[in-house]
Amino acid sequence: MTSPKNITLIIHGGSGRVHKEPMTVEKEAAYTQKLTEALLSGFDVLQKGESSLDAVETAVKILEDSPLFNAGRGAVFNNDEIIELDASIMDGKSMKAGAIAGVKTIKNPVSAARCVMEKSDYVMLSGLGAEQFAAENNLEIADSSWFETDERRRQIQQIKQAKNSPDTNSLSDQSKYGTVGAVALDSEGNLAAATSTGGMLNKKYGRIGDTPIIGAGTYANATCAVSCTGWGEFFICHTVARDIAALVEYKQLSVAEAADEVIFDKVAQAGGFGGVIVLDANGNIAIKHNTEGMFWACIKWTGEKKVNVCNMIIE
pLDDT band at 24 (very low <50, low <70, confident <90, very high): confident
Looking at the domain assignment, is residue 314 inside a domain? no
- Pairwise CA distance, residues 242 & 247, whole Å: 9
Q: Which entry of 58, 105, 179, 195 is annotated as an active-site residue?
A: 179
Write down the pTM of the prediction.
Answer: 0.93
Looking at the domain assignment, is residue 315 inside a domain? no
Looking at the domain assignment, is residue 159 inside a domain? yes
pLDDT band at 27 (very low <50, low <70, confident <90, very high): confident
Number of domains in the chain: 1
179 is catalytic: yes
pLDDT band at 314 (very low <50, low <70, confident <90, very high): very low
String of b and e for 8-45 (b: at least 16 CB within 10 Å)?
Answer: bbbbbbbbbbbbeeebeeeeeebbeebbeebbbbbbeb
**Which domain CATH number covers 226?**
3.60.20.30
Q: In this predicted structure, what is the pLDDT of residue 3?
A: 52
Mean pLDDT within 78-92: 97
Determine how many CB atoms are found less than 10 A away from the CB of residue 165: 11
Mean pLDDT within 10-32: 80
C-alpha distances in Å from residue 199, one per residue of 22, 69, 82, 219, 296? 25, 11, 11, 18, 18
Looking at the domain assignment, is residue 238 inside a domain? yes
The answer on pLDDT for 17 being more than 70 is: no
pLDDT band at 171 (very low <50, low <70, confident <90, very high): very low
Looking at the domain assignment, is residue 35 inside a domain? yes
Looking at the domain assignment, is residue 57 inside a domain? yes
Q: What is the pLDDT of residues 246-265, one digit of tens each?
A: 999 999 999 999 999 999 99
pLDDT band at 174 (very low <50, low <70, confident <90, very high): very low
> Which residue range forms the structural domain that includes residue 180?
4-308
- Pairwise CA distance, residues 226 & 252, whole Å: 16
Candidates 229, 260, 225, 258; CA nearest to 244 is 258
Q: In this predicted structure, what is the pLDDT of residue 313?
A: 42
SS (H, E, C) 159-210: HHHCCCCCCCCCCCCHHHCCCEEEEEECCCCCEEEEEEECCCCCCCCCCCCC
